[in-house]
Amino acid sequence: MKSFKKTKQWLLLFISAALLFISCDLFDFNFNTDLTGGRLPSGQFWAQDFSGSPSWYAVDAELLAEGAHCYIWAEKGSGVNSTTATAIAKEYDSVIYPKMIAAFDSNYSDESMNIIKLTDNLLTGGDGKLTILFLKIRDNFDPPVNNGYMAGYFWAVNFYSNTPSEYFRYSNECAMIYIDAKANTGQSPMSSASYETIAHELQHLMNFGHTLHSRSAPMDTWIDEGLSESSHWVYSGSYNDNRLKWFNDESTLISQGNNFFVWGNRENESVHAVLDDYATVYLFFQWLRLQSGSTGIYKNIITSNRTDHRAVVNAMSGYSDWDTLLRDWLAANYIDAPTGFYGYKGEPLLKDINVNTVSSPSGFIDLFPGEGVYSVADTTTSIPTTSSGSNIKYALLAKTPNTTGTVTTTGVINSSNTLLTFNTNTNTGGQRQPGTLASIGTGTTPNAGTVSGARSLTAPLSRPYAISAGDLLRRNGYAMESLP
């Protein structure tokens, strides 16, 4: 275990990345405020206002219920009453808490000191109970004009003592998550969506705790988000229809390669590009669970001392490299076989996953690290070869109903197979590289490629949808700064 001094030094380097939201962003939001910060009187909490220039404000709240493992607070005027709070505390204590501990905690010899209690006790000397604050998060949600809302967030600095430094002066000095209480988002308190958000944010809190105790840096965003997306299934045992619908029917850029690995990198191309990140990482982590046989893989990932793709590769039995793991998941989305690695084990709601093929007049497409696309040829042609030093790789995919399908790396492209073109670069800050498509083009200039019937890049969604803090701030015109 790290010493407190070393842990705090690490946090100071990472503090601008500690805003972990339901749609997490590891960035410095550069908050502006006229408030001086400092400890608040009992019944008040520091919270963040994202409706304009990001700032801090004090929330007047009341303690409505206490459980064995939690405190339920609610902003005055939020509509949450003691009856609702008592039901939430019961659900947290009896369902959410034990399931999350089982899926995302280490096997400490003293089970009473799980990662939540251990971190809270070490950093604040607290009692290890989670403070859940229900409030109307200030996020400019105004349907039908603006259907994006923040479902919840986790602010890691709450674990630390309130001191005059820039970030610590807004600490509430407890293990804490913030959950939206607006009734018109589809996530009213006591709803399944609200409970899933609690589980989602709790994973971020637990992941932060594991980082403090077993890693020298935080996990890559896509892994932290993938685990939080997995927490929805851990809690409910059901699949997220919104994620599946977005992947199958509503995405603008997934068929052109956009996915989770380089998080938040396509906002300039589509107003809803970040939803692609969530839909794809959701499916990837469901595939990991199904292929590994249990949620045990989530525990192996979150407790890894690795912070990048190696945490996932090392946890996945039968794989030793990222290239093959990425290829097989991309193949699974196309073949969707009922058994084997190239599908989702025949899960009823996942057996209809579908992807579109892409084409380009030039015969090329630019792909970020981790991205992959599918293309077909109208005549027999050779499989492309990877040029020296390139991260672009290729595979031929063939599927036949009720079979496991085939994936090969040699052969010819013809009417019975599909070419998978993918970028195996493991640098999440890497840039695009051109990959060849199975098209009969003679140009040499890479471009984005097109998908038949794709949605408009700027078409608004007519239903409420959870939005990240970073995406919200971008839309409000506030740029984010990279980490130091």
pLDDT at residue 327, as a whole number: 98
Confidence of residue 11 (pLDDT cuts 50, 70, 90): very low
Examine residue 337 and state whether it is found in any structural domain, yes or no. Answer: no
266 falls within a domain: no
Determine the Cα–Cα distance for residues 276 and 341; give it in Å rounded to an integer: 23
What is the mean pLDDT of the segment spanning 171-197?
Answer: 93
Condensed to tens digits (0 to 9), the pLDDT of residues 325-384 reads: 999 999 999 999 999 999 999 998 898 888 999 988 888 899 999 999 999 987 788 888
- Could you tell me which residue, 34 or 266, shows the higher pLDDT? 266
Helix axes 322-335, 273-292, angle to 10 degrees: 100
Q: Compute the distance between CA of residue 356 and CA of residue 367 in angstroms, rounded to an integer.
A: 16
Residues in the chain: 484
* Band of pLDDT at residue 145, cut at 50, 70 and 90: confident
Query: 434 and 365: one domain?
Result: yes
Q: How many CB atoms lie within 10 A of CB 164?
A: 9
The answer to whether residues 50 and 111 belong to one domain is: yes
- Same domain? 431 vs 469: no
pTM listed for this prediction: 0.90
Question: Could you tell me if 285 and 260 are in contact, meaning their C-beta atoms sit under 8 angstroms apart?
Answer: no
pLDDT band at 54 (very low <50, low <70, confident <90, very high): confident
Same-domain status, 391 and 433: yes
Task: Tell me how far apart the alpha carbons of residues 336 and 286 are, in angstroms, rounded to a whole number.
Answer: 13
388 in the same domain as 471: no
Residues 157 and 188 in one domain: yes
**Residue 251 — pLDDT band, cuts 50, 70, 90?**
confident
pLDDT given for residue 35 in this prediction: 54
Same domain? 143 vs 79: yes
pLDDT value for 147: 83
Using alpha carbons, list the distances in angstroms from residue 21 to 24, 162, 174, 470.
4, 21, 17, 9
Are residue 470 and residue 377 in the same domain, yes or no?
no
Residue in the structure block whose two tokens are 């990001």:
54
Q: Quick check: is 209 in a domain? A: yes
Within a domain: 163:
yes
Tell me whether residue 240 is in a domain: no
Most confident of 45-59, 251-265, 275-289, 425-439: 275-289
Check whether residue 162 and residue 112 sit in a common domain. yes
- Domains identified in the chain, total number: 2
Higher-pLDDT residue of 481, 203 = 203
Instruction: Return the pLDDT at 94.
Output: 97
User: What domain range includes position 403?
Assistant: 357-450
Same domain, 382 and 471: no
Res 107: pLDDT: 65
Residue range 431-472, pLDDT digits in tens: 999 999 986 543 333 344 554 444 444 455 778 888 777 777
Same domain, 418 and 471: no
Residue with tokens 């996990």: 219
Q: Residue 207 domain-assigned? A: yes
Q: Is the pLDDT of residue 201 over 60?
A: yes
Whether 14 shows a pLDDT value over 50: the answer reads: no
pLDDT greater than 50 at residue 16: no
Give buried/exposed letters for 14-36 (b at 16+ CB in 10 A, else e): bbbbbbbbbbbbbbbbebebeee
The Cβ-side half-sphere exposure at 13, using a 13 Å CA radius, reads: 9
What pLDDT sits at residue 372? 97
Same domain? For 471 and 363 the reply is no
For 290-341, write each residue's pLDDT tens digit.
999 999 999 999 999 999 999 999 999 999 999 999 999 999 999 999 999 9
Q: Is residue 29 part of a domain?
A: yes
Task: Copy the structure tokens of residue 92.
Answer: 């947290």
Does 231 have pLDDT greater than 90?
Answer: yes
Residues 102 and 426: their CA atoms lie apart, in Å, by 30
d(CA 348, CA 68): 37
Q: Is residue 99 part of a domain?
A: yes
